[in-house]
Structure 1
Amino acid sequence: MASSTATSAQPERPPRPNLAFRRLRGKRSPAEFAAAVRRAAREIGERVSCDARYVGRVEAGEIRCPNYAYERVFLHMFPGRTLTDLGFASRSSVRGRQARTAGESRGAGEPYETHDTQDLYETHDDNEESDVLRRAFITSGATVAAASLGPLGPALDAAAAGHPVRRAGAGEAGALEEAVRRIRLLDDRHGADGLYRRAAAPLRTAYALLDAGASRQATADRLCTGAGELAISVGWLAHDSGRFDDARSHYAEALATARLNGDPGLEAHAFCNMAFLARDAGRPREAVRAAQAARRAAGPLGSDRLMSLLALREAGGWAGLADRVGCEQALARAQAFFERGRSDADPEWMSFYGEAELEGLEAQCWSTLGDWPRAARHARRAADLQDPHFTRNLALYSAELADDLARGGRPDEAAGAGMRVLDLLGEVQSSRIHTMLAGTARVLLPHRRASDVSTFLDRHAALPRSA
């Protein structure tokens, strides 16, 4: 509960745009600049989940001072400059809050809210990924959950006990958005299996906050979008873990949230994932319809990259229907939209969608159609293009390559690709990848006499059964 001294009745101070930071971005789009930030982080051994939304929040002045990890990255990118030169406020002015005591809680309506939930915890700069397992949402001046993928906290406990939950503010909305980003980052790096069950708690908390309402419509809209995006993220964790029924339920929840709030971007995202799920679940005609529904929702958004991805989702459905012409037409649309490049209209969640993903999804289409040589060419390009920092996708594309090579009659090369996947499994937990690798092993069994194949099969057989 907020302290008695919190000025909860005061309006939030409007953020002041960070024009200095905007000038440093130059002609690059927010997504392109975010990619540059992530590259700079890797150069100095940092890990930050920077994306277009984070860049936008900095430029809008919502993040008055970055956390220590981002500070080191920004100062590395712009040597000789200080945080003040980059348009940020000093850390002491952001943290000070008129000598608040250590036990005094933050009022959600406090006029000097930083809107940067990362900056509230100094431990974050040591390990961003462990932070997602510890931190969660802030409400009523206290922590809603002890970890963003951990146990439930006061807000949801109050809701479960039938007590009212105090209305959410911008801090809660920002924390919810950050939880979505971090879940996506962990999935990109390590896969879904170890995350799914722990992600259920923040999702329930998100909808408890949404039910409690917000004092401002803009905040309510952010909460609604954030809850829907979190439902999609949790749905994807279920999807990639092979829990298709759970995934379908989460995606439907996100779709309902989108339609209740009149949010076409969220609706397009939900239908996009529903198309992918339908394809994987063996319902190709549903995949085509869902992709087409996503395209209709996405039309007014003006994102060519989104339209490219949706064309690929449709292509996957046509491939499942063995409609080669329909698949080729959809692939051509996907390529044409992709070549138009990125724009500020691209949704934040699409940061994963680059040339490697384009090649990987096309490989899956040709594999479904039984064109193994063409599938292998695209899968190899995907693996070659993938940033090795994102281990899960590298393992996925390599597993696709191994399977295509095996089915295309190239067992030695398939075994080599499969060995590369096995080398990555210590860092990746994805039922999808394990299932693909098991299929490849079955195809290679008749070729066991080849030394490379035998080595791969023996290593694969030694994997823990729980994998």
Structure 2
Amino acid sequence: MINSQDVDTAKKELGRKLAGWRTTRKLTQLDLARSVPSSRSTIAGVERGAQVVDHTFWARCDALLRAGGELILAYGRFQELERQFQAERAAGAARARWGDIDTWSRQIAQSGYGAVPDPVARSTAAGCAEISGVPNDLPGVAFDDMRRRTLVKWGATAAAVASTGVGRSSVAHAGRVGAHDAERLSKAAVRLYGLDYRHGGDSLWQAATAKVNDGYAMLEQGTYTGTVEGHLLKATGRVQMCAGWLALDAGEHTIARNCFTDALALARQASDREVETATLSYLALQANALARPREASRFASAAENATSTIGGPPRLGAVPQLRKAIASALMADQSGTDTAIRLARRVLDRDGDKPTEQWCTFLSPAELDGIEGTCAVELGRTTQAQTLLERAIAGYDDRYARNRALYRVRLARARLTAGAPDGAADAANEALDDLAEEVASWRVNAELEAVAHQLAAYPEIPAVAGFLARYPSVAGPQ
């Protein structure tokens, strides 16, 4: 069992590593803060082990201090330790609240979900219910506001959920498999994407892996024709790709990478260039999120090559360009960014009014504004960034609450850079509104945490004080 002292010790060791590399490079805390960018008090707090910051901070410090990946790896080890601690604590709290686990598990089994060996798996059961269309009102368990909130929060306890075995295939003997089975699997991916746009990946990725395992069970244990095999390979590849995306949005990067690797293998077995293109684009997105823009650019180029050989669903050709745009901005390549955005807009102008696959429906003028605004933030074009991000936010309704929350956080960052902490607090507070309505996304939370740390330098501003008072209960570190 991991205890809080273990986490505190690991946090302090991580801080000592940062201080060691900073000293080696003969930089003061203020020097490093100006380069990250951050505040001197944040650097000091991290080095004391008193403050937690996100992956972006560590990636930038590693690059600035030429630590060769040591700081990123150390942060990854700390994050895994903390995740396990939170998972164990959540499991204990769940057992205390729900009492007789065997009785609860039998109730779930009777409702058609199959045996559930641990209450931490409740989020997976609920997620599978929404995907399959089964009602969420489980026997003896009221689906109240607390349970909805729990679904979101427990989605982050990935280690505990994975250890329970929930998500393994419910198809013990697949028997005869037909085209309708593959179609049901494809529809599950469609439903998952729709839920993701509204809620984020934290509360959904385990349910996606359960559907993936159903696909593999049918492939390995079922009886089917050659035509059905092709449909089943494509459907399983689509769900596997979706599971990877949801895990990425939940911050489960190793799981996401494994899902993407398997999705590529399935796509190539099925000669499905659409899934191959989309999966390579997701890998580029992940690389950008992990501050590896050169890798992202390579994946985006591979995706562009794949999509150039197919007709593909409308809008799909814009996705590699958007990944290239972000990668170029992270490398301070203004010309590369502008070219990629221009090409993406050209695709959307051509295909924007055509029906498309579910994973492409997010591609709208609002999304392109959001991506271009994000690039402008990275390139220091704060006025342009604010205009674009405000336009992106206005273009999203509640069906895309996760994307809206993400761009509200980035707008807050742009306003901070422009020297407007009160406006930044307003945008950050609006992001909290989305999070309070059951958006659970590692990407949103990680970026909002960085903004919160910066806003902490302005506690005398009423809007900032209001945000800081609200932040811990809605989105702060658990």
TM-score range, shorter chain: 0.5 to 0.7
Q: Which amino acid aligns with 2:130?
A: D
Pick closer, same or farther for the CA change 1:342–1:216 going to 2, 3 Å.
farther
CA distance in 2: counterparts of 1:396 and 1:249, whole angstroms: 25
TM superposition shift of 1:395:
1.4
Aligned residue in 2 for 1:131: 130
Aligned residue in 1 for 2:472: 461
Aligned residue in 2 for 1:140: none
- The answer to whether the Cα contact below 8 Å between 1:244 and 1:281 also exists between their aligned partners in 2 is no
Q: Which amino acid aligns with 1:177?
A: S
Partner SS, residue 409 of structure 1 = coil
CA distance in 2: counterparts of 1:421 and 1:464, whole angstroms: 10
Aligned residue in 2 for 1:240: 249
Aligned residue in 2 for 1:450: 461
Q: Which amino acid aligns with 2:367?
A: E
- The answer to whether the Cα contact below 8 Å between 2:377 and 2:385 also exists between their aligned partners in 1 is yes
CA distance in 2: counterparts of 1:403 and 1:362, whole angstroms: 15
Q: Which of the two has greater helix per residue?
A: 2
Q: Which amino acid aligns with 1:238?
A: A
Deviations 1:441-464 (A, max 9, x none): 112222221111111111113446
Q: Percent identity?
A: 32
CA distance in 2: counterparts of 1:190 and 1:422, whole angstroms: 13
Matched, 1:400 2:410: yes
Aligned residue in 2 for 1:255: 264
Alignment of 1:38-437 (within 5 A): 130-132=129-131, 135=134, 152=168, 154-155=170-171, 157-158=172-173, 165-212=174-221, 215-302=224-311, 305-342=315-352, 346-426=356-436, 427-437=438-448
Partner SS, residue 316 of structure 2 = helix
CA RMSD of aligned residues (A): 2.5
- The answer to whether the Cα contact below 8 Å between 2:373 and 2:384 also exists between their aligned partners in 1 is yes
TM superposition shift of 1:370:
2.8
TM-score, normalisation: structure 1: 0.64
Pick closer, same or farther for the CA change 1:450–1:300 going to 2, 3 Å.
same
- The answer to whether the Cα contact below 8 Å between 1:213 and 1:220 also exists between their aligned partners in 2 is no
TM-score, normalisation: structure 2: 0.63
Pick closer, same or farther for the CA change 1:410–1:276 going to 2, 3 Å.
same
TM superposition shift of 1:354:
0.9
Pick closer, same or farther for the CA change 1:345–1:297 going to 2, 3 Å.
farther
TM superposition shift of 1:300:
3.2
- The answer to whether the Cα contact below 8 Å between 2:432 and 2:475 also exists between their aligned partners in 1 is no
- The answer to whether the Cα contact below 8 Å between 1:196 and 1:237 also exists between their aligned partners in 2 is yes
Pick closer, same or farther for the CA change 1:346–1:299 going to 2, 3 Å.
farther
- The answer to whether the Cα contact below 8 Å between 1:129 and 1:186 also exists between their aligned partners in 2 is no
- Name whichever of 231-240 and 197-206 sits farther off: 197-206
Pick closer, same or farther for the CA change 1:399–1:214 going to 2, 3 Å.
farther
Pick closer, same or farther for the CA change 1:343–1:294 going to 2, 3 Å.
farther
Pick closer, same or farther for the CA change 1:234–1:151 going to 2, 3 Å.
closer
Deviations 1:309-352 (A, max 9, x none): 22111111111222111111111111222212336584442112
Deviations 1:227-246 (A, max 9, x none): 11111111111111111121
Q: Which amino acid aligns with 1:366?
A: A
Q: Which amino acid aligns with 1:187?
A: D
Q: Which amino acid aligns with 2:255?
A: D
CA distance in 1: counterparts of 2:433 and 2:283, whole angstroms: 31
- The answer to whether the Cα contact below 8 Å between 1:255 and 1:266 also exists between their aligned partners in 2 is yes
TM superposition shift of 1:265:
0.9
* Structure 2: stretches of 5+ with no match in the other structure: 1-125, 136-160
TM superposition shift of 1:412:
1.1
Pick closer, same or farther for the CA change 1:428–1:216 going to 2, 3 Å.
same
CA distance in 2: counterparts of 1:311 and 1:419, whole angstroms: 31
TM superposition shift of 1:288:
0.9
